[in-house]
Amino acid sequence: MNQYSKLYSENVDSLGRRPEALEAFEARVPQLDRVFEPETYAVNLRRLKLPVDAALSFKCAVPAVSASPALIVNDIFQPARRLPDGVTLMSLRAAAELHPELIPASLRKREEITAESALNDLLWTDGALIRIGRGIHLARPLQLVNILSAPMDLLTFRRIVIVAEPDSDASLLICDHTQDSERNYLVNELIEVRVEQGARFSLDRVEESSPLTVRRSEMHVSLDSDAKFKSASAVLFCGDSDSKIHVDLLAPGAEAEINGMVIASGEEAPKFHTFIVHHGEHTSSNQTFKFVADGQSNCVFDGLIKVMQSARFTEAYQSNHNLLASSEARMHAEPALEIYCDDVKCSHGATTGQLDPAALFYMRSRGIPEDEAKQMLMEAFLADVINSVSIESLRDRLRHLVERRFSALGSGHDSCANCVALNP
């Protein structure tokens, strides 16, 4: 028996019976990412509260926005103090026990279930349920802060379910932060987002994980007619971070904008994989991903746009631009298009290069020191992704965080802990 199947069997009284999840996972065990093979991590399936000072995460690393943040500490939900009328933000475990009717069926088709998401189906312990009621328009964003801090190496299974009901309009910021940079963490995360007819939902993400954190995240999004979804991801610090984003534009008028920026250094290994599928007519998608790779970092972006036969009059665009700040850094880019109908406008492309020597020479000739000139050019390179962030206060905070991150590179420090120490 696989170690995870055995773990489920030994804790079924705590997790609840999940026979379909067990069958799906066992059928996919050979495809499971090798990072899940070691048995050195503790797993808190019985949801014991581990000692943690959540306030430490807010001193520097968690962007401050005008919202009441809810916390997920080592995958145990801690509620926000205040919630707007018409909004549900609660423990997913509690919702499954008390209000199962609020949790929609999984968005993933059988063929889209990966070994990692099947493992999440089998062993998830908690997470968050977010529902924005019909016609509710939120003036302030919601915020969800994922904190890792434990006295032992820890494997966590996190699940977030989001439903934006018809004609609603809301924004969410998700922050991932590792407090203890001396511990090994392995995160298995599954996010499912359903944006219903005429709704608008934006989801911005900021990752500041430690070099010893391994993160495997999948996000599945479905858009109904005239629904609009916007997402911007910022990876400022990470270890081995792998994010998959799958978006289905199901009906006419659906729109998706998916953007991302990554700053990598040391031996960090950030990866983004996007899979955008157009099913309905008159749907549109736009993607922009940018990487700045320094040190011996190893970065990956691959994106697929798939236009189905039913998706006439689709507009879909994808761009990936990468800046190598070190001769030892590596960038692997693979954009792709699959089009099965006529009457569409689609394009994709990727570029990888170094800082423009002419621009650098011009700035140095004006008396700007070389390190400062490089930092200014790298910040300008990421500006359009930062400007795409939906939450205004987060845009301002991100500019500061990016500046601080590049300053840390210039000083020879490339960990979140060092950066906080340098910039109290």
Give 145-198 as a DSSP string: EEEE--SS-EEEEEEEEEEE-TT-EEEEEEEEEES-TTS-EEEEEEEEEEE-TT
Q: Is residue 422 part of a domain?
A: no
Residue 416: inside a domain: no
Asked whether residue 256 is domain-assigned, the answer is yes
Q: Is 291 a domain residue?
A: yes
Buried b / exposed e over 1-17, threshold 16 CB at 10 Å, is eeebbebbeeeeeebee
Residue 423 has a pLDDT of 34
Structure tokens at 424: 């109290």
What is the C-alpha to C-alpha distance for residues 291 and 1, in angstroms, rounded to an integer?
41
Instruction: Give the C-alpha separation, 221 to 87, whole Å.
Output: 19
User: What pTM was computed for the model?
Assistant: 0.92
CB distance 328 to 299 below 8 Å: no
Q: Kindly report the CA angle at 304 between 298 and 310, in degrees rounded to 5?
A: 170
pLDDT value for 61: 54
Residue 118 domain-assigned?
yes
Sorted by sequence, the CB contacts under 8 Å of residue 348 that are 6+ apart come out as 303, 305, 317, 318, 319, 335, 336, 337
43 class by beta-carbon count within 10 Å (0-12 exposed, 13-18 middle, 19+ buried): middle
Q: Where are the alpha helices (DSSP H) in 29-167?
A: 92-98, 115-123
Residues of the chain with pLDDT under 50: 412-413, 416-424
Number of domains into which the chain is organized: 1
pLDDT value, residue 414: 54
Q: Which of 327, 350, 341, 391 is nearest to 170 (CA)?
A: 391
pLDDT given for residue 33 in this prediction: 94
pLDDT score of 64:
59
305: β partners: 276, 337
Each residue's pLDDT tens digit, 99-140: 999 999 998 988 899 999 999 999 999 999 999 999 999 988
Report if residue 399 sits inside a domain.
no
Measured distance between the N- and C-terminal CA atoms of the chain, rounded to whole angstroms: 49
**Is the CB of residue 279 less than 8 Å from the CB of residue 249?**
yes
Q: Is residue 284 part of a domain?
A: yes
Residue 65 pLDDT: 64
CB atoms under 10 Å from CB of 94, counted, come to 13
Distances (CA, A) of 240 to 237, 303, 345, 393: 10, 19, 35, 28
Amino acid at 121: D
Amino acid identity of 1? M
Does residue 374 sit within a domain?
no
pLDDT of residue 193: 98
Q: Which domain holds residue 317?
A: 3-355
Note the pLDDT of residue 392.
86
